[in-house]
Structures are given as C-alpha cells and as structure tokens.
Amino acid sequence: MTSGLKALTARGRSFLASGAAALLCAFVLGEHDLLRIGVLVVALPLLAAMVVARTRYRLSCARRLDPPRAEVGSEATVTLRLENVTRLPTGLLMIEDTVPYALGARPRFVLDRVEARGVREIDYRVRSDLRGRFTIGPLAIRISDPFGLVELTRSFTISDTLVVTPQVVALPHVRLAGEWSGGGDSRTRSVAAAGDDDVAPREYRQGDDLRRVHWRSTARRGELMVRREEQQWQSRGALLLDTRRYAHRGEGPRSSFETAVSVAASIGVHLAHEGLGLRLVTDQGAEHLTDGGLSRSLLDTLAVVRSGTARSLEFGVGALRQGGGDGLIVAVLGYLDLEQARELSRARHGNVTGVAVMLDVAGWEQPELGENEEFQAARSILVGTGWRVLRLPAGVSVASIWQEAARGGRFAASRGDI
C-alpha cells in the first residue's frame, strides 16, 4: 500500500486533496450528501493504489540487437520480447526502454492487454553519429489503473551493449613491400631469422599437414609430432594512430580526429583481410587487441578510443620499437612539428616499409588553405628517411589516395567524401 501511495499521479493527489476538502466542509457545514461525496473521492485513489500495488504480473523480457555492431551513421534494430508467464491477463502496460541520448529519444509503447501465456514483440531503431559502446536498457514497465490515478514503475535488470564502430571505407588492393602473408603457426619471419628453435618438433595440432609428421619423434614420444621447420610464416605490421588532442582540429564527427580514426579503421580492416598480422599503437602506447578476430577486435578498440593530452609521439614510437618484427608500419598522423617528424622517422629501419597518412589539419579550420610550410617540412623529413607519405586534405576519401602507398614520395589530393 505504501508503494501504491507513492505512485499516485498528479490526478490521484488532486482527488485526495479534493476529497479531504469535501470531508472537512461536510463536517463544518453538517452536509451529509457532501460527506458521501468526499468519502467516494478519497476512496477512489486509495482503492486504485491498493489494486495496482497488489498486482503481481510475472513478465519475462528479452532484447535482441541486429546487428550488435553498427557503423557510425547506420541503424540497428532493437527487438523487445515480452512474455506473460502467468495464467492471468495483464492490464494496460506502458513500456519505456532506456536508451542513451546519442542513440535518440527513449522509445515508449503502450500495450493494451497481454493474454495469459501471451507474447508481444516490439521493434524500434536506433542510430548514432558518434562512436562508442552504448548500454541499452534496462526496460521499465509502468502499470496504471484505468482512471490514471496511480502509476507504478517496475524495471527489469537486463541490458545490452551496442558497439558503434568507426566508418570503414573499402580500399583498393595495393601490394606493399613487407606485406607477406602465410599460414602455419602465424609467427613473424623475423623470429625465424633471429634464431627461434624452429627445427624442434612439436605436438600435432588439428589441421596440421600429415606430411609434416616427424616419425622418429613420434615413435620416441608415443604421440604424433610434426616438424616446425616447414611451417609457413605470417608477417606482422603495426598501425600507429595519432590521438593527441592538440594535433587535430575541428569538433564532432567531422573533426580531423574522427577522420583519423576512420582512416585507421579502414586501413586496419583492409590489411587484416589481406592476411597481415596487425597490432595497434597510439601515442599513448600499444593497445591490447583481443583474440576474437583481428578486424572485429580492432574496430571494437577504435570504437572507444579517445583523444589524449600528450604532445609528443614518444610513447607511440617507443611501442613500435619494443614490438619489433614489423614488416610494415602505417602511421595515421595529425599535426607534426619537425622534432616529432624526426622522432617518427627513426621508427622505420632496414627493410621495413613505412607508410604515413598525414592529415593536413589546417584544412579543417580553413578548407581553402593548402599545405603550409610546416607540413611540407615534416613531410620532407619522413620522405628523406624512406617513408611513403600520403597527404589527406579535409573532405578527401582515403580510398582515393591509397594507391599512392605503392609509390614512395607521391602525394594525392583528389576530392571526395571520407
């Protein structure tokens, strides 16, 4: 009863106040008819509160997201499934799902009646122009009486997460030096060159070629052993994303930072589909990618990446050096001064292929401006140390300049949509 009284609506409270006033006047004036009216007006919200509070609907709720991962700007469908698990029909139900502001307004629905053992499915769509992980739920159900005097809210505990990933642009196939893919144990060729014990046999694994069985070791160990020296190798690459706040310009989805994240996602997914083992590095250090598939893990990580306060690429370059064994380094960069360009140039060494996608961030403030002297100087430093530099002005798709990655020292500035 206490919960029912707390759930009184403005109309219910007005009825109580009016009934109390009528009762007071009836006692003062001695009007019996007014007393009956006052009792009726007071009793109505009290009875409604008692009925609603004693209502024990047993409902089960399930939520399905299709797809559970959506790209920025695309829609996802949320399906709510409500089941009445009792033998009694429900009354009027008002349903409201909890949705973050970035996904739109909170969806509200009215169910007139759910029969015993009945099931209702409700669909609604969400859309976000911002990356991130968004929690949808819990679902709240409002139970009210037919007169609208009492409204009681009950919530489920389940919630689901929608991952909004950066925009991915399909890139043309470009053969890059250092980009080599294979199978086997998926190690880098540099490990073999460094003297890993690749001649020792190992245990047979599901899917190994039976022609690699080492029979002498098999007889000695009593279990199938295979040669490791015949395994193929998979080269490894590194993707560096410049997340320094001061190195980017603009605000919101059209900012140079969001463009850089989209470019990194497009290049990372493209290289993963080409069979390259990839690791992600930012100016804050190496990022951990889970084992749930390279493309999926990369997009999940980039969905929540945020700009930082660092002003140097020192930690990012250090993470590149510590990883080692990279045949390819792709850097997606914002503003670079000469010192930072020299620091980054030293990350490429030997036969490592370095590709730098440099965002001409000045264009995000004044699109009519071309590349300035600082941009040219930083580019010259990278080109002079063997990097292949691609200039990306504002409003240009990375797909239109990616072909230039196969030719060192060339630059593209064709117009398009990112």
Distance, in Å, from the CA atom of 317 to the CA atom of 356, rounded to the nearest integer, reads 13
Cα dihedral 314, 320, 321, 323, rounded to 10, equals 140
Is the CA virtual torsion 180, 185, 187, 189 positive or negative?
Answer: negative
Mean pLDDT, residues 217-232 taken together: 72
| Per-residue pLDDT band at 175 (split at 50, 70, 90) | confident
DSSP, collapsed to helix, strand or coil, labels residue 160 as strand
| Res 417 pLDDT > 50 | no
Note the pLDDT of residue 164: 96
Is the omega angle on the peptide bond into residue 138 within 30 degrees of 0, that is, cis? yes
Burial group, residue 256, by CB count within 10 angstroms (0-12, 13-18, 19+): buried
| Res 234 pLDDT > 50 | yes
Residue of 164, 131, 168, 166 whose CA lies nearest to 65:
164
| Per-residue pLDDT band at 190 (split at 50, 70, 90) | very low
Can you name the residues that pair with 153 across neighbouring β-strands?
Answer: 142
Rg (CA), the chain: 32
Residue of 52, 48, 115 whose CA lies nearest to 82:
115
265, two tokens: 């996602």
Percent of the chain past pLDDT 90, that is, above it, reads: 40
Residues 338-383: tens digit of each pLDDT: 999 999 998 888 888 999 999 998 888 776 655 678 888 999 999 9
| Per-residue pLDDT band at 205 (split at 50, 70, 90) | low
List the 353-359 sheet strands across, edge first: 285-287, 277-282, 236-241, 326-333, 353-359, 388-392
Q: What's the pTM value of the predicted model, to 2 decimals? A: 0.75
Residues 295-337: tens digit of each pLDDT: 899 999 999 999 999 889 999 999 888 876 678 999 999 999 9
Note the pLDDT of residue 215: 85
